Structure formats: structure tokens, C-alpha cells
Amino acid sequence: MAERIATIASRVGLHARPAAIFAEAAGDQPLEVTIALEGEPIEDALDASSILSLMGLGAEYGTKVVLRAEGEGAEAILESLAGVLETDHDA
């Protein structure tokens, strides 16, 4: 299973607009992607394409999250999605 840690760059955290942008990007991927706060057990990971899950995560600006996916191309997909999280969509 591929894993990538990303830091939330949007000043409002992973809420509203940034969550919607990320959920759409995750949903467009051919693999299932999960997200969790860094340090949480893997079984607590949430569906990265669910805006409700993302908003419930409570990830604020500067929070580190772990993205995970399994399958062909997983590392490239996670790198791309990390780029979405590491962009300030409120700038």
C-alpha cells in the first residue's frame, strides 16, 4: 500500500471549498484513496472522496494527514492529491 504524508496549506483548513476541491480530485482517481490524521490507526482512515468525511476530519491549516491507496499508479496518484492539499485554495 502506498502512503504519502501531506500538510494542509489552505488557511481555513480542509473545510468547504478546499474540501470540495480535494474530494472531487480524489473521486476522479481510478483507485480508492483514504485519508487520516497523521498518527491515527489505518483502520480509522476515511474515504478521501467524501466531502462529509473530509470536513469531519477536522484538519486545520498546518495539520499533517496521511493519504493511502493500493494498486497500479498509487504513488503517482497520492503525489498528485498531496499537491492539492499542499496548495492554499483560499489565497
Q: What secondary structure, in 3-state letters, does 77-90 show?
A: HHHHHHHHHCCCCC
Q: Which of 4, 15, 68, 89 is catalytic?
A: 15
**15: annotated active-site residue:** yes
- Would you give the DSSP letter of residue 20? H
In this structure, is the dihedral angle defined by the CA atoms of residues 36, 67, 69 and 19, taken in order, positive or negative? positive
Active-site positions read 15
